[in-house]
Amino acid sequence: GAVVSQHPSWVICKSGTSVKIECRSLDFQATTMFWYRQFPKQSLMLMATSNEGSKATYEQGVEKDKFLINHASLTLSTLTVTSAHPEDSSFYICSAPGLGDSGELFFGEGSRLTVL
Amino acid sequence: GQNIDQPTEMTATEGAIVQINCTYQTSGFNGLFWYQQHAGEAPTFLSYNVLDGLEEKGRFSSFLSRSKGYSYLLLKELQMKDSASYLCAVKDSNYQLIWGAGTKLIIKP
Would you state the pLDDT for residue A1? Answer: 65
| Of the candidate ranges A38-47, A51-60, A96-105, B18-27, the one whose mean pLDDT is the lowest | A96-105
Query: How far, in Å, CA of A74 to CA of A80, rounded?
Result: 18
Query: How far, in Å, CA of A98 to CA of A101, rounded?
Result: 8
Name the B residues in 24-83 with CB < 8 Å from any A CB.
Answer: 31, 33, 40-45, 48, 50
3-class state of residue A11 by DSSP = strand
Query: How far, in Å, CA of A29 to CA of B26, rounded?
Result: 30
Would you state the pLDDT for residue A102? Answer: 77
Which among A50, A45, A71 has a CA at the least distance from the CA of A60? A45
Q: Do B42 and A102 touch (CB under 8 A)?
A: no
CB A96 within 8 A of CB A33: yes
pLDDT at residue A7 above 70?
yes
Residue A91's alpha-carbon distances to A53, A111, A113, B15, B56, in angstroms, are 26, 6, 6, 32, 32
Q: pLDDT tens across B24-76, in order?
A: 999 999 999 999 999 989 999 999 999 999 999 999 999 999 999 999 999 99
| Of the candidate ranges A11-15, B41-45, B93-97, the one whose mean pLDDT is the lowest | B93-97
User: Residues of B with CB below 8 A from A104's CB?
Assistant: 33, 45, 48
Mean pLDDT of B75-81: 97
Q: Do B44 and A107 touch (CB under 8 A)?
A: yes
Q: pLDDT tens across A55-97, in order?
A: 999 999 999 999 999 998 999 999 999 999 999 999 999 999 8
Query: How far, in Å, CA of B4 to CA of A106, rounded?
Result: 21
Helix (H) or strand (E) holding B62: strand B60-65
Strand partners of residue B12 = B107
Would you state the pLDDT for residue A101? Answer: 72
Nearest chain A residue to B104, by CA: A41
Average pLDDT of the residues of chain B: 95
Half-sphere exposure of A75 (CA within 13 A, CB side): 8
Average pLDDT of the residues of chain A: 92
**Quick check: B94 contacting A, CB < 8 Å?**
no
Q: Do B43 and A44 touch (CB under 8 A)?
A: yes
